[in-house]
Amino acid sequence: MPVLLSQRPASAPFNLGCILIGSYINSMLYALAMFCVYVYYRGDRSKRDPLLVKLAVAGCAVMDTVATFGVCGSYFYLSVLRWGRDFSHCSLRHGTDSVPKGDYDYEFRAHWLPIMTFVASAFSEIIVQAFMVRRYFLMSKQYLICAFIVVLMLLSLEANLYLAISSAVGALPASERPTNLTPFMYAYSIGFFRIFHIVVVLHRLSLSSTLASDVCTTIAMFWTLQKTNTYTNITHHIVSRISVIVVVTGTLTCVVVLASMITFLAYPISALTTTFTCFVGRVYSLSMLFTLLYRDMVNNNQWIQVDEVTENVIIVPQMTLHRGADDNIRITCSPVSDATFAHRASLAHPRTQKDIEIHPHGKLDSQGTIRSMHDGEA
């Protein structure tokens, strides 16, 4: 707290520039996210996804729309409606242009648009984090690790909601604000732009818990994939590609949250950290959407995944299947199914090895079936 009181507030052009840059980046990421949502719902794979996954995508789309409206509305409010008006409502008792070490008289009401943006971004984060934890739990069944990550997620959500509610109190007239929140409320004059920092420790805790949950989820998922037993080249290839995507999507969200936390700690009495908080929710949504859409990229690759033993065979042109478990093999469309991480003991005939060759330009027999060639056959 003494560090905050000793710093000089940032200028109005600096704060507006930070918010404007964040608004530009947020608008571009929002357009990309909406395009990904459109592609996801147009695909056939989304129809086979669980209801929770569909609701997560829809929830992120709604929260991104609300947050984007709040970001653009906040900049319009600060740069047009409130331009040059804040000092008329604030008179420093000590007659200086810096933040006084004592108290001061002011009458400033926080607007609801930044609060709405903050809440929408917080819910986008929790939705995507829940999606990632669910994916990790289905793969590993590690109850303790998942419970620890969920605790970090709830801690971050609680801190975000507390900060949002405390900031909403600032939108009330000074005479109507709850008296029990007065000792915990600090207001700092930042030119014409004010930001209410309510219990700065909680704000740091919010960023820290969000970052910790992302790091733990990424490391746990990557470690589980690396420890997975793969018995064929195709399975090893798929696991390697999924591991890269886990690292990329997890690192991206961690970098944005870490940048927001560093800028807040380095220059708290400014809107520098707002540059990142404007679009952090969109980064989370894009990480989830890219994970869902990447399944089609894996399916369209020259490698193909083989699922459990069934009685039907699907012909796929220009693709070669790996060694399977039985004569009849079904091709799956999901790159993260149980068969990808199945153990050798779970196969019907683990010692049976056969090569299945598909000749798209060759001739099929009268019944239109695939010709299987055993090892050692010509």
Whether residues 186 and 163 share a domain: the answer is yes
Separation CA 293–CA 315 (nearest Å): 23
15 pLDDT band, cuts 50/70/90, is confident
Q: Alpha helix locations (H) across 267-374?
A: 274-277, 280-299
HSE (side-chain half, CA atoms, 13 Å) at 75: 21
Residues 264 and 375 in one domain: no
Whether 109 and 223 map to the same domain: the answer is yes
Q: Which domain holds residue 211?
A: 2-299
Do 366 and 280 belong to one domain?
A: no
43 and 97 assigned to the same domain: yes
Assess whether 164 and 17 both reside in one domain: yes
In this structure, the answer to whether residues 30 and 81 fall within a common structural domain is yes
On whether both 228 and 263 belong to a single domain, the answer is yes
Query: Each residue of 139-153: pLDDT tens digit?
Result: 888 899 999 999 888
Residue 27's pLDDT band, with cuts at 50, 70 and 90, is very high
Sign for the pseudo-dihedral over CA of 195, 196, 200, 205 = negative
From 299, 319, 352, give the residue that closes a domain.
299
Domain count, the chain: 2
pLDDT of amino acid 88: 37
In this predicted structure, what is the pLDDT of residue 309? 37
Q: Whole-angstrom Cα distance, residue 16 to residue 271?
A: 8
The long-range contacts involving 143-148, CB below 8 angstroms and separated by at least 24 positions, are 145/216, 145/220, 148/216
**What's the sign of the alpha-carbon dihedral 118, 121, 127, 131?**
negative
Q: Identify the band that residue 83 occupies on the pLDDT scale cut at 50, 70 and 90.
A: low
| Crossing angle for the helix pair 200-226 and 233-266, to the nearest 10 degrees | 170
Amino acid at 30: Y
For 243-283, write each residue's pLDDT tens digit: 888 888 888 899 998 888 888 888 877 788 888 989 999 99
The domain that holds 126 is classified in CATH as 1.20.1070
268 and 356 together in one domain: no
What H or E segment, with its residue span, contains residue 161? helix 143-169
The pair of structure tokens assigned to 37 is: 């949502």
* Co-location of 285 and 344 in the same domain: no
3-class SS of residue 355 = strand
Do 179 and 325 reside in the same domain of the chain? no
Q: Which of 276, 299, 322 is the last residue of a domain?
A: 299
| 299, 314, 344 - which closes a domain | 299
Q: What is the pLDDT of residues 181-239, one digit of tens each?
A: 444 444 433 333 344 444 455 667 777 888 888 888 888 888 888 887 777 777 777 77
Q: What mean pLDDT is predicted for residues 164-178?
A: 64
Q: Are residues 287 and 312 in the same domain?
A: no
